[in-house]
């Protein structure tokens, strides 16, 4: 999806602000010789920004307005080195709340709902993002934060909570506790707004059944406001995002080229109106695609697909970028095979090849099944793998996380 004239105008405004601020990123743009953009093609030539740049700007090098206008900072986790600090103006905080309010509205949540917020509060953007959006909506917020399951369930029953905001793993834990304690008839939950970790359909079903709720996936990252820049709708075919606040492009993570709608690649985000720390072409390393066409739900905002993993997982076979999650998804459409599989990538006779091992029981014609899997990978991803079908139980299993992708090319 090309950048629109209106969006381009907003980007020009942000570029001017960055250059004027002469901060870390403003200097980079100046060095790259960036001035006013005339066209979508100009935009696609802009340099990317990376998490590393944001770390280099630590602590306040991203600040793009005078300090008097900064009302808050957030920080992304610093478990792997220097953290990233994002300054927010009052308008940024308000804009974020407006976007989050839209998320709730798209999920059919109203000011009559009672919204229990279980993600954490503090430096990161989770809990407070859910809260500000819910207050903007006029809902009744129950700001629990994480953990303390006894109290969590007590409040849920006494206050008749109707909406649960949570990670997928914590909502699964709550579902199991409710089942264990036999209190399902005292729970009034209707909907769950779940943070965007990658989760399987199976897990989704367990949560939805266990809590008796509809689930909505929320997307966001600290560098770009936080959660609430996009959400899935009742059609559950991708997440709508607010293209008056952000511009999303999908790029080939190796070449940096823009990919057409419908193709899987890396999500790159440009903030259109952010004041405290605008970001231009920020590489998220999240994998998804622009979902082509309009959504049956009637919402006109564009969509990205479910997050399929991280770019670091990518493998290149015969010039085609492949992600293990894509293969996994295809294998999931064959009910006759078990959930165990193995992918081996090797370099033979000057060519990269992929072998996929799957398991089935003896009632299936192995060759015929292998052929069907091959054809499906070819039609969906664009290359032909070697598929080997074996008896159930033959693939290695482990107590710990089973290694399913083995790259033998560099041994
Ligand atoms: Zn929709």
What percentage of the chain exceeds 90 in pLDDT? 76
- Report CA(104)–ligand 1 centroid distance (Å): 13
- pLDDT at residue 81 greater than cutoff 80: no
At residue 155 the predicted structure's pLDDT band, cuts being 50, 70 and 90, is: very high
- Report CA(297)–ligand 1 centroid distance (Å): 4
42-55 confidence digits (pLDDT tens):
999 999 999 999 99
- pLDDT at residue 356 greater than cutoff 70: yes
At residue 374 the predicted structure's pLDDT band, cuts being 50, 70 and 90, is: very high
- Report CA(107)–ligand 1 centroid distance (Å): 10
pLDDT of residue 401: 58
- Report CA(282)–ligand 1 centroid distance (Å): 25
All CATH 3.30.300.30 domain ranges in the chain, comma separated: 314-410
At residue 410 the predicted structure's pLDDT band, cuts being 50, 70 and 90, is: low
211-259 confidence digits (pLDDT tens):
999 999 999 999 999 999 999 999 999 999 999 999 999 999 989 999 9
- Report CA(333)–ligand 1 centroid distance (Å): 24
Average pLDDT, the chain: 92
pLDDT of residue 288: 94
- pLDDT at residue 200 greater than cutoff 80: no
In CATH terms, the superfamily for domain 89-310 is ANL, N-terminal domain (3.40.50.12780)
At residue 78 the predicted structure's pLDDT band, cuts being 50, 70 and 90, is: low
- Report CA(278)–ligand 1 centroid distance (Å): 28
All residues with CB under 5 Å from ion ligand 1: 233, 235, 295, 297, 299
- Report CA(51)–ligand 1 centroid distance (Å): 30
Q: What is the 3-state secondary structure (H, E, C) of the chain?
A: CCCCHHHHHHHHHHHHHHHHHCCHHHHHHHHCCCCCCCCHHHHHCCCCECHHHHHHCCCCCCCCCCHHHEEEEEEECCCCCCCEEEEEEHHHHHHHHHHHHHHHHHCCCCCCCEEEECCCCCCCCHHHHHHHHHHHHCCEEEECCCCCHHHHHHHHHHCCCCEEEECHHHHHHHHHHHHHHCCHHHCCCCEEEEECCCCCHHHHHHHHHHHCCEEEEEEEECCEEEEEEEEECCCCCCEEECCCCEEEEEECCCCCCECCCCCCEEEEEEECCCCCCCCCCEEEEEEECEECCCCCCCCCCCEECCCCCEHHHCEEECCEEECHHHHHHHHCCCCCEEEEEEEEEEEECCEEEEEEEEEECCCCCHHHHHHHHHHHHHHHHCCCCEEEEEECCCCCCCCCCCCCEEECCCC
pLDDT of residue 141: 98
pLDDT of residue 399: 61
pLDDT of residue 329: 86
pTM, rounded to two decimals: 0.86
- Report CA(232)–ligand 1 centroid distance (Å): 7
- pLDDT at residue 353 greater than cutoff 90: no
- CATH, domain range 314-410: 3.30.300.30
All CATH 3.40.50.12780 domain ranges in the chain, comma separated: 89-310
pLDDT of residue 408: 82
- pLDDT at residue 411 greater than cutoff 70: no
- pLDDT at residue 85 greater than cutoff 70: yes
- Report CA(137)–ligand 1 centroid distance (Å): 20
**For the residues 312-327, what does the mean pLDDT come to?**
83
């Amino acid at each position: 999806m090309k950048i629109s004239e209106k969006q381009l105008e907003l980007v020009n405004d942000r570029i001017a602000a960055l250059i004027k601020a002469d901060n870390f990123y403003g200097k980079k743009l100046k060095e790259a010789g960036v001035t006013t953009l005339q066209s979508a093609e100009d935009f696609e030539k802009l340099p990317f920004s990376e998490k590393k740049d944001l770390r280099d700007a630590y602590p306040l090098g991203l600040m793009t307005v005078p300090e008097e206008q900064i009302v808050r900072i957030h920080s992304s986790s610093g478990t792997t080195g220097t953290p990233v600090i994002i300054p927010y103006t009052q308008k940024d905080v308000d804009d974020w709340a407006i976007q989050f309010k839209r998320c709730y509205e798209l999920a059919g949540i109203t000011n009559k709902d009672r919204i229990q917020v279980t993600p954490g509060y503090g430096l990161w953007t989770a809990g407070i993002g859910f809260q500000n959006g819910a207050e903007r909506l006029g809902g009744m917020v129950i700001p629990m934060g994480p953990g303390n399951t006894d109290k969590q369930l007590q409040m849920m029953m006494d206050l008749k909570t109707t909406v649960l905001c949570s990670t997928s793993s914590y909502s699964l834990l709550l579902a199991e506790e409710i089942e264990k304690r036999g209190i399902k008839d005292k729970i009034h939950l209707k909907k769950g707004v779940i943070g965007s970790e990658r989760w399987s359909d199976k897990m989704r079903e367990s949560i939805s059944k266990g809590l008796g709720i509809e689930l909505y996936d929320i997307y966001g990252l600290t560098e770009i406001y936080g959660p609430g820049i996009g959400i899935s709708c009742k059609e559950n075919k991708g997440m709508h995002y607010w293209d008056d606040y952000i511009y999303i492009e999908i790029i080939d993570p190796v070449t940096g080229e823009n990919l057409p709608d419908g193709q899987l690649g890396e999500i790159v985000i440009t903030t259109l109106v952010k004041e405290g720390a605008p970001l231009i072409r920020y590489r998220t390393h999240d994998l998804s695609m622009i979902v082509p066409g309009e959504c049956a739900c009637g919402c006109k905002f564009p969509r990205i697909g479910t997050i399929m993993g991280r770019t670091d997982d990518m493998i290149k076979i015969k010039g085609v970028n492949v992600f293990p999650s894509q293969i996994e998804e295809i294998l999931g459409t064959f009910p006759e095979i078990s959930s165990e599989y193995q992918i081996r990538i090797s370099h033979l006779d000057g060519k990269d090849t992929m072998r996929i091992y799957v398991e089935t029981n003896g009632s299936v014609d192995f060759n015929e099944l292998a052929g069907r899997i091959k054809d499906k990978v070819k039609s969906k991803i664009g290359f032909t793998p070697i598929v080997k079908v074996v008896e159930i139980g033959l693939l290695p299993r482990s107590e710990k996380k089973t290694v399913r992708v083995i790259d033998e090319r560099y041994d």
